[in-house]
Structure 1
């Protein structure tokens, strides 16, 4: 297959171009080479894998059982997982990296705790958190909105969901942000992950002794025909909820503020019709910002062909969600932010059995966080040239490193 790969263009998904301004390159690939080759440190192992950029093809790998997310079973690196420290190994054992029936079992159990009814009860807490942080923004006016608002809203919400005591909040926030910086540098991230795992184990043991109505207690009690999450699965699930729910929502909030500043007509429309954030508005911001850029790599379980390109069994394949959400064959004028866009079949939460379990919470947090800023501040002003802004150095997620802004 080497001669086939050599004919494919190669894209480094971790390059500064693809992190900061990927759309021109992705549009070129959609048109000229919808199946190409990609390298991405921390996302694709070894020499890389096949990159899919058209909407229908990205949908395919999320819905076809010839593609597996189970890297422990299908990746050569899976044979050496025992060398990875236990705290980090648990991150590879979450349901994100499981196929059915293991994935279905875990998702069924977690869904019994993480219900729409439970998520709805969080609205008052999210509102209080957003308003408190908005007070701090108002007091200073000039802030880095990423670190002082976008990151802190979901982080505070997760701390509340997990029942992290007030005395541990500062340490919890510090460890989570530190792990976020280290998650693709395994050896550096181990001590932080170990400390977080210990904190989670303590919270789980405390809830076993003294149950409450919080998420951990509900996860402990969740059962299906007598089946329950093991202690290790509980810790892994808390890790997953933390990492999947914290960074992505922060990305959505920060990138949405930037998108609205760059599209003043849409910001004005939102001020006139704030209720759009409860419907088409938040869906369009999810499409336009794509907080999850690429998602997890898939492993091909049998020889197949996509767009005339043969892909052998065992290959890694990745679908660009950012590209799919800008596919001209699916979205009219995809490069334009249109808060009234309908229909909007975006893939911001993926598709199929791996559809994001926390989609309702992400929508709720995004709506409340942005509505709070709209209600509190009439003026949003970017304090740095747009071209100077940088995105986080991770190929899987897409979010701003910082966003210097003046709000009053």
Structure 2
């Protein structure tokens, strides 16, 4: 059995960990792939770092996402863990995961995503028009574009009424970066009745939207998503369907501002380099810093460490994609790099269903910004923040720009 390792307090390794965790992760990776840590938010976790170890952890069946089945192992669980809204693919293991993902994938198809391109461009153009309208030549690009674009698109996709979108922003913020257990529980408590009503309305009067399709889809054996599965998938799609894109856009802009040579290169060949810029952003400073936590089903030896049953394991995507054993000069932002092989959207059975949508929105948003504002620049430090807390989402809440 491996020797026990001391708990590492991440803030003691670097007081700037939240703003720049990469040096800390690299230091940990140099010592080994698995570390017992205390996060800046006070969470007791086991981190898996490095590209090879991250891919292995994603496919290790001893690391479960099904807190409903294995939650009894954990010393502490959120109050909502066994309530409605948790029966979706991100919180399940095979065979339940296989069944649900198959049903969702029948409707959440590449063709449906590709068909959204004109709408994404339309929404982007309208938001950029609004940015220009006041004549101030400065804006918070998160509030003006990065948030409303994906939120509008995912709500269009699901058929969520326009007037409810700002409310969802508050709920979503509490899910990805909780300000406290009571606020997090309140977000779930408010979202579930609303979505229940929305699902019932669409049962009675289905539309062309994805949620209506998910309600009525069935496989060859007549299997359908249950009410709780529909509720859970709707909430997951709204949260995951916009949070990744918000921070893909924000992180992409910050990376370009920090690397003016790459920004100039991209401006000189938007047609040829925009896809590469999006993929390099995903690798270099992707919107998901660490995976959603896995619960360890049994005492486990992994990466030279002994991880007790009931522990929470987070796979650090941000470090996996900065591993020099996988990417040459990984700390260099290079939009001409072949960034294939990054795991910014996860790996294995939990690879993000919404990855094509995030890529589409990121590509259109970044390209449209650079085409519209030829002298776009940061208005102050791109890293002024505030930063999103926690180990899940990486990004800033505000990003001031000028033109």
**Which one of the candidate residues 163, 182, 187 is aligned to 2:174?**
182
Distance 1:293 1:91, change over 3 A: farther
Q: Secondary structure at the match of 2:86?
A: helix
For residue 5 of structure 1, report the CA deviation from its aligned partner.
2.7
TM-score of the aligned structures, taking structure 2 as reference length: 0.91
Distance 1:331 1:356, change over 3 A: same
Does 1:5 find its partner at 2:5?
A: yes
- Work out the CA distance in 1 between the residues paired with 2:99 and 2:209: 22
For residue 38 of structure 1, report the CA deviation from its aligned partner.
1.6
Distance 1:19 1:42, change over 3 A: closer
More displaced, 367-376 or 298-307?
Answer: 298-307
Distance 1:3 1:79, change over 3 A: closer
Distance 1:217 1:244, change over 3 A: same
Distance 1:400 1:234, change over 3 A: same
Q: Secondary structure at the match of 1:104?
A: helix
Count of residue pairs brought into register by the alignment: 397
Does 1:312 find its partner at 2:311?
A: no
Identify the residue that residue 104 of structure 1 maps to in structure 2: 98
* More helix per residue: 1
For residue 298 of structure 1, report the CA deviation from its aligned partner.
1.8
- Work out the CA distance in 1 between the residues paired with 2:245 and 2:12: 21
For residue 10 of structure 1, report the CA deviation from its aligned partner.
3.6
Distance 1:10 1:231, change over 3 A: same
Identify the residue that residue 88 of structure 2 maps to in structure 1: 94
- Work out the CA distance in 1 between the residues paired with 2:313 and 2:102: 27
Q: Secondary structure at the match of 1:388?
A: coil
Identify the residue that residue 147 of structure 1 maps to in structure 2: 143
- Work out the CA distance in 2 between the residues paired with 1:383 and 1:181: 25
**Which one of the candidate residues 220, 223, 243 is aligned to 1:247?**
243
For residue 40 of structure 1, report the CA deviation from its aligned partner.
3.8
Structure 1, unpaired ranges of 5+ = none
Q: Secondary structure at the match of 1:19?
A: coil
Identify the residue that residue 62 of structure 1 maps to in structure 2: 58
Root mean square deviation of aligned Cα = 2.6
For residue 31 of structure 1, report the CA deviation from its aligned partner.
1.2
- Work out the CA distance in 1 between the residues paired with 2:239 and 2:232: 11
For residue 15 of structure 1, report the CA deviation from its aligned partner.
8.5
Does 1:374 find its partner at 2:370?
A: yes
For residue 174 of structure 1, report the CA deviation from its aligned partner.
2.1
Q: Deviations over 1:145-189 (max 9, x none)?
A: 111111111011112112223xxx23x222122113333233224
- Work out the CA distance in 2 between the residues paired with 1:180 and 1:2: 39
CA contact (8 A) 1:43 1:297 kept: no
More displaced, 109-118 or 138-147?
Answer: 138-147
Distance 1:222 1:387, change over 3 A: closer
Q: Secondary structure at the match of 1:293?
A: coil
CA contact (8 A) 1:13 1:38 kept: no
Does 1:222 find its partner at 2:223?
A: no
Identify the residue that residue 402 of structure 2 maps to in structure 1: 406
CA contact (8 A) 1:61 1:298 kept: no
Q: Secondary structure at the match of 1:347?
A: coil
**Which one of the candidate residues 184, 188, 192 is aligned to 1:193?**
188
Distance 1:13 1:143, change over 3 A: farther
- Work out the CA distance in 1 between the residues paired with 2:328 and 2:278: 18
Q: Secondary structure at the match of 1:143?
A: strand
Identify the residue that residue 381 of structure 2 maps to in structure 1: 385
CA contact (8 A) 1:13 1:19 kept: no
- Work out the CA distance in 2 between the residues paired with 1:14 and 1:111: 42
- Work out the CA distance in 2 between the residues paired with 1:157 and 1:52: 34
- Work out the CA distance in 2 between the residues paired with 1:339 and 1:242: 30
Identify the residue that residue 395 of structure 1 maps to in structure 2: 391
Identify the residue that residue 110 of structure 2 maps to in structure 1: 116
